[in-house]
Structures are given as C-alpha cells and as structure tokens.
Amino acid sequence: MNNDKNILIAQRYAESLIEFGRDGKLSYMSISTDLANVLTIISHSKDLFEALTNPLVTVADKKAIVDKVFEQDVDVLVKNFLKLLVEKNRFNLICDIVKVYNSLLDDINEVARVEVVSAVELNDMEKNSIQDKLAEKLNKQISIKYKIDESIIAGLIFKMGDDIIDMSVAHKLEDYKKAIIK
C-alpha cells in the first residue's frame, strides 16, 4: 500500500517536470539529462542521500546542500525542483520520480523499452530482425536491452513494463511438467 502511495506521489512530481518541458521552460532531454546527473551523484554518495532525507537536518541546510552539490550539474529549474522535494520531505522519492518521468517521456516520444533475454549472445542480424518486428508490431520506436541467461536453455523472453512473453524452452518444459502432474 505504501509503495502504491509513493508511486502516485512520484507520478504527480514527474508530471510537473513534464510540464516544464511542455511549457518550453526546459527541453525534455535537458530535464532527463539533469535527472540522470542527480541520480549519478546521489548513487555515488550514500551520505548525500541520507543528509537530504534525514529529518534531523534542517530544510535550510538541505537546500544549501542542493545548491552546493548540484550547482554546476543541473539547470536552476531542476535545482529548484530538488529544493521543493526537500521542502516537502519527498526527496526519498527521487528515484521513483525519475523512473516515472522517463516512462512519461517514452510515452510522449512513442518509445517502447523492451528487455530481450536469450540463452546465447544474439548476432547483429538477429538483433536487427527483433528490432524491426517489434517496431512493426508495436508501431513505436524500440529501445532494446539485451541480457543473456543460460538457464532459459533456448528461445527468448520479452519484457516490456509489466508484460512478459516467455518463449523459452525452460518455460515450455515447466508447462509440460505441470500438465503431466495434473
């Protein structure tokens, strides 16, 4: 329940970032780049994230930290957005906000992000074929992340958001096993 509430809150903040882009205050890409910089910086400093989410640190001190740390790495509008998160005690949601923002941006740009899992490394011809077929089927630009998992034996698994299409041999063997047991 708490996670669902956090996602709804992150959704609202991400939509406000989308509005920055829609209003022409910043480009979607520069917001995305700035947010990636923020995540990179906080991922390299556990102490920074803890300071910005610690209730014992004053809001004024947190804002000063945001000003100092992100001074050269993000636009002033994004920095003000980070200060708002600090002020509203929502900085702990920054990762969720960025994830939702990127998803909203993908919807705007008609991009589908797909993870393709195979048992072996795919060659360029196979990757191009997968890319073309997915683009045709989904009628969107496709961004594919390839992973190798030898445990699937053969075949492919496609993951897009919450949707999974499992065409692996391991999955089919599991189905056969369940059918035999019944």
- pLDDT tens digits along 92-108: 999 999 999 999 999 99
End-to-end Cα separation, the chain, in angstroms: 36
Per-residue pLDDT tens for 48-86?
A: 999 999 999 999 999 999 999 999 989 999 999 999 999
Answer whether residue 118 shows pLDDT above 60: yes
Confidence of residue 2 (pLDDT cuts 50, 70, 90): low
- Per DSSP (E only), the strands in 2-90 are none
Mean pLDDT across the chain: 93
Q: Taken in order 13, 15, 18, 20, is the CA torsion positive or negative? A: negative
Question: Span 137-151, mean pLDDT?
Answer: 93
- Per DSSP (E only), the strands in the chain are 111-118, 141-148, 155-160, 163-168
Answer whether residue 37 shows pLDDT above 70: yes
Instruction: Give the integer Cα–Cα distance in Å for 170 and 154.
Output: 7
Question: Span 131-149, mean pLDDT?
Answer: 93
Higher pLDDT, 25 or 113: 113
Give percent of the chain above pLDDT 70: 99
**pLDDT (0 to 100) of residue 166:** 94
Answer whether residue 1 shows pLDDT above 60: no
Place of tokens 């989308």: 18
Give percent of the chain above pLDDT 90: 80
